[in-house]
Amino acid sequence: MTPEHGDPEDGDLVEAAPECEIPAEVGEAVRTLIRWAGDDPDREGLLDTPRRVAKAWREYARGYAEDPSAHLTRTFDEVGGYDEIVLLKDIPFQSHCEHHMAPIIGKASIAYLPRDRVVGISKLARVLHGFARRLQVQERLTAQVADTIWEHLQPKGVAVIIEATHACMTARGVNTPGVMMTTSRMMGTFREDERSRREVLALMGY
């Protein structure tokens, strides 16, 4: 599976975009880009490309249509006294960099230390995808995921680590395939307490 042609249901909890009308100017913009790239948009193989690209972008940018924090409104306070780390590890995601609109492909590990409530575990992934399906920079994506969990669950600690490759770096520019960028945000206990931080990092595999 290549990132650009990945199944939208590639285990990342993102539903396929509904069929929608493609505005004429969007199709024309793609045709212009094809011409700019040096090809002929009227060539048979490219005739349907503007529609496909427009549809794909509806999906890549689905996050704009949602409020990711909404996934955290349904919480459970019956946790049987559980007061240890909750971790969702190596969640695959894709995003697009806001500088080149090129794919960012990576994985995120998201952990929190509950105070009095927890959420369904898939919700953490939904928060990630809600922010990832926008034009992004990895640093902001990391901060938005952590801040949203911090604000809405009011846990004792939040830790988010994202590792990703940026196509704008691997496929153009400095052309360095395989290079990973890592960003992290530690809040509360994970920021203040060395032992807690080491514990969550070890659980995440760092």
Nearer to Zn ion, 168 or 171 (CB): 168
Nearest approach in angstroms of CB 97 to Zn ion is 3
129 carries an active-site annotation: no
Instruction: Give the separation between CA 206 and CA 66, rounded to whole angstroms.
Output: 32
Please select the residue that binds Zn ion; options are 51, 99, 140, 198, rule is CB under 5 A.
99
CB of 102 to Zn ion, least distance (A): 5
37 phi and psi, to 5 degrees?
Answer: -75, -15
Is 98 labeled as catalytic in the residue annotation? yes
Q: Least distance (Å) from Zn ion to the CB of residue 165?
A: 11
> Residues touching Zn ion: how many (CB under 5 A)?
4
CB of 6 to Zn ion, least distance (A): 19
Closest to Zn ion by CB, 125 or 167 = 167
Binding range to Zn ion, per CB under 5 A, among 26-34, 57-65, 93-101, 123-131: 93-101
Q: Which range binds Zn ion by CB under 5 A, 8-16, 54-62, 91-99, 143-151?
A: 91-99
The CA distance from 39 to 34, in Å, is 6
Please, which residue, 89 or 99, has the CB nearer to Zn ion? 99
What are the angstrom distances between the C-alpha of 21 and each of 4, 52, 55, 151?
A: 22, 12, 9, 37
Nearest to 113 by CA among 2, 13, 199: 199
Within residues 152-191, the interface with Zn ion by CB under 5 A covers 168
In the numeric block, the tokens 């230390």 are attached to 113
How far apart CA 19 and CA 45 sit, in angstroms, is: 22
100 is catalytic: yes
* Residue from 120, 110, 91 nearest 13 by CA: 91
The verdict on whether 136 is a catalytic residue reads no
Pick left, alpha or beta for residue 106 (phi over 0 → left; psi -120 to 50 → alpha; otherwise beta).
Answer: beta
Residue 100 CB, nearest approach to Zn ion (Å): 4
By C-beta, is 29 or 135 nearer to Zn ion?
135
Exposed/middle/buried for 127, CB within 10 Å: 0-12, 13-18, 19+? buried
Does position 100 bind Zn ion by CB under 5 A? yes
Catalytic site positions: 97-100, 138, 166, 168
Residues that bind Zn ion (CB under 5 A): 97, 99-100, 168
